[in-house]
Structure 1
Amino acid sequence: MSPEELLASLAEAAQGLLFPSESDHELRPFRSRGDASSPAALLAAEGLGAATPVEVTTAGDFFAPVIDVPGDAGDAALAEAGRYRRLVDLLERHLTDVRVYRVGRVAIDVYVVGRHPSGAWLGLVTKVVET
């Protein structure tokens, strides 16, 4: 799957999903402008200051709150969790070195990125608000 095809598949899989936080935001396809193999590389590629705070986590940890719903959750919650699981599976099937960068404080830009076989860093971007 080419980078463009993967970005289109991610857009389709994420359509209508809002990542919950104090202010829910959509998940959008993302292609890094350069290397995203480390926090410093991502900050440089995206034109952000080197002193910008970055927290690194895994896709499993980041998506756990929306995937690990109780078994007695309603049908809508279970269906949505399934959509998130399919999104994570799509990322993990087509990208290596998948990681999550949480950039900033309070209004946090979240980059879920991995390396495509072409060498490009692709994934999803969203925002979470934590006060």
Structure 2
Amino acid sequence: MINQVTENLKQTSHDLLMMSESEYPFEVVCWKDQAQEPLTNEKLLQLTSHPLETPIELVDLDYFFRNSAEEKEWHNEIQKQDVQKFQTMLKTLKHNLTDIQVYRLGTINIDVYIIGKTASGDLAGISTKVVET
């Protein structure tokens, strides 16, 4: 089950870049048997090897992808194709995971983890980076 979820996420996030002040690819993350307890900030920082004082901001999934997954009138064909890819990735996340949260860890160079629960009790999702100065 988990292999199928991570494989689906790999396929839909492949070749996509998160746009910010720089561009970063997406990576699939999976923590086996970690969904029995709530994902606290402390637990997330431990799982991602961040210092415990790292600031965390929670963001709504659709809000996080608002600039990537919505087609704009001024988009060219390549941008429109990217919007389609982001929409497919969003659907894959929502179809395969429950209780999805977007966690932004740190400031300026921000590590982003989009994590949800799998049906088999694991935590899985994708991560990327955004740069905001």
Match for residue 25 of structure 1?
24
- More divergent stretch after superposition (30-39 vs 54-63): 30-39
> Which residue of structure 1 aligns with residue 4 of structure 2?
5
- CA shift, 1:37, in A, is 2.1
Moved more, 41-50 or 113-122: 41-50
Q: Secondary structure at the match of 2:115?
A: strand
3-state SS in 1 of match to 2:68: helix
For the pair 1:123 / 2:122, whether they are aligned, the reply is no
- TM-score normalised according to structure 1 size: 0.91
Q: Deviations over 1:52-86 (max 9, x none)?
A: 10000111011111012313421211111011011
Matched, 1:100 2:102: yes
After superposition, the C-alpha distances for 1:28-49 in whole angstroms (9 at most, x for unaligned) are: 1111364562322211222322
> One-letter code of the match for 2:21?
E
RMSD in angstroms over aligned alpha carbons? Answer: 1.5
Corresponding letter in the other structure for 1:57: V
Q: Which residue is equivalent to 1:112?
A: 114
For structure 1, which segment, 118-127 or 43-52, has the greater mean C-alpha deviation from structure 2 after superposition?
43-52
- In structure 2, runs of 5+ residues without a counterpart are none
Give the aligned length. Answer: 130
Give the counterpart of 1:84 among 77, 83, 86. 86
Amino acid at match of 1:75: E
**Offset of residue 14 of structure 1:** 1.0
State the identity as a percent: 27
| Structure with higher RCO (Cα < 8 A, 6+ apart) | 2
